[in-house]
Amino acid sequence: MRRGHIMRHTIGLLLAGLMLASCGRHAGRIVRQAELLIEEQPDSALHLLQGINRRHLSGETLACYALVYSMAQDKSGIDVASDSLLRIAYSYYSRHPEDSLFARCQLYMGKYYIMADSVKQGDDCLRTAAHYAEERGEYYTLYLALNKLAKEIRYSDAALALEYSKKAYQVYSEHCPPKVTNKILLLLDIGDAYLLCNRDDSALYFMDRALMEAEVIGDSCLMSDVLQDKSLLFTKQDDYPQALSLVKAAWDISPTRNVNLASRLASCYADADSVRQANELYSAIIREDDYERQYLAYRNLAILSAKDNDASSFLAYSDSSYECMRKMYTQALKVKSDYYQDLIRLEKENRRQEAEIYHKRIFILCSLLLLTVVLMIGVYIYINVRNKARREREKYLLREQFAREQHEMEMAHKNAQLALMRKMVMEKYNFHKRLEEKKKAGKHITLAPEDWKEIATFLSVTSDGFPERLRRAYPDLREKDFQFCMLVRLDFSIKSLANIYGIAEVSLKQKLVGFKERLDIPDKSMSFKQFIANF
């Protein structure tokens, strides 16, 4: 009973493992479908992924799910504020640089590090992504990595940022599916890089190209962005009226009144000494729930107050900007703290999951081992039973063959006996016939030595060795007495015996009685002839 229970439990575990593996394969197909939808339909991809129970995933499938989910969030405009999932993918693909998703994982991990203010780690990941993507011809990933790198280092290394921007534009133009919006943004990035490199003419050239492309497709958002960037060029050249004109044009055509545009317009108003308009815009920005923008607005308001010699307002705005800065850094520290706490929690969770997976594997391995041992024992028993049955059958066949051969030998012996008996019977018949012939002729019947030998042989065969048994039982018998007993055993009549011995029948009867006394027959009621016949 216990063995059967263990077998059922082990088989149940194996079936559960197969079901989990089947669920894992099904989830893997859904993840691959979501990956194909990310570029064009990121929301649909995210919806597909949200229907998967990640508890059933492990190994490569879990890593792929984590990466594709992070990519879908990014493409849907959702900031990946925690690396809980992305870290799973990063841990797996870091050990498998040969995987096709390695470069993409490095790219998104780099974007996360930069968002979390871990710029050095982010740059390292982006450079790794660009290197592997270029080696393997993954041009879209290469374009994304170069574009992100250019934006992140533009203020620290403008020349390198310009190089990255140009290469990103070249890779995208030559190898990626053409999308005008992306090409416009890349042209604008090149213009910004030239501006930071103090090459204003080249910057203006690429910005004008970007503006022209945006006007062709009628994209007001892009036109607004290009106009804002062009205003920076004229601000740098101290042409504040032209900068203000460009920003106002950007403000007028923009479909949304976003904070960045409002902040840029307020800055241009301040540069052009339009204090009232600047104050109105900065006051609107202050009401936004963004400490960084509030800090910039309060700081610029303090600068404007200083220009107007308004000491009290200057102090108030300065204190407010300081408070916003404090909150901003407190928030940043909290984000950092949360990040490291999430990292520690994730590490603990990963270790717990690894330990759980390890124990499950050990349990399944032991179960498989136990099942293997049970199967081997079963096979061993089956083989032994089958071999035993085969040996028994061979023994039975041998016994049957031996019995058949024995029977054939016995039959052959019986046939020989029957042939001999037929011969003896014929000889006895002939012997009696000769006696009768002599008797009729009135001759005395005599038996030659060969006749006595023939009689002894006949009785030995037909009477189960009568002569031999009689000699062993009565070794003192004389030869003549022994011959007389053989004649009695042949059941000769009294007359025939009397004729053979040449005496009267009465004398022969007395002779029989004398033999009974000599042989000391136990049963007194039994005659000598009966004794010899039954001996």
Domain extents in the chain: 266-332, 444-534
| pLDDT recorded at residue 197 | 93
| pLDDT recorded at residue 417 | 59
d(CA 128, CA 114): 15
| pLDDT recorded at residue 283 | 78
d(CA 206, CA 203): 5
| pLDDT recorded at residue 285 | 76
| pLDDT recorded at residue 481 | 84
d(CA 229, CA 235): 10
Residues in the chain with pLDDT values less than 50 = 1-22
| pLDDT recorded at residue 17 | 45
| pLDDT recorded at residue 10 | 45
d(CA 143, CA 182): 11
Burial of 221 (C-beta count, 10 Å sphere; 0-12/13-18/19+): middle
The model scores a pTM over 0.85: no
**DSSP state string for 370-414:** HHHHHHHHHHHHHHHHHHHHHHHHHHHHHHHHHHHHHHHHHHHHH
Q: Which residue has the tokens 């960084």?
A: 292
| pLDDT recorded at residue 165 | 93
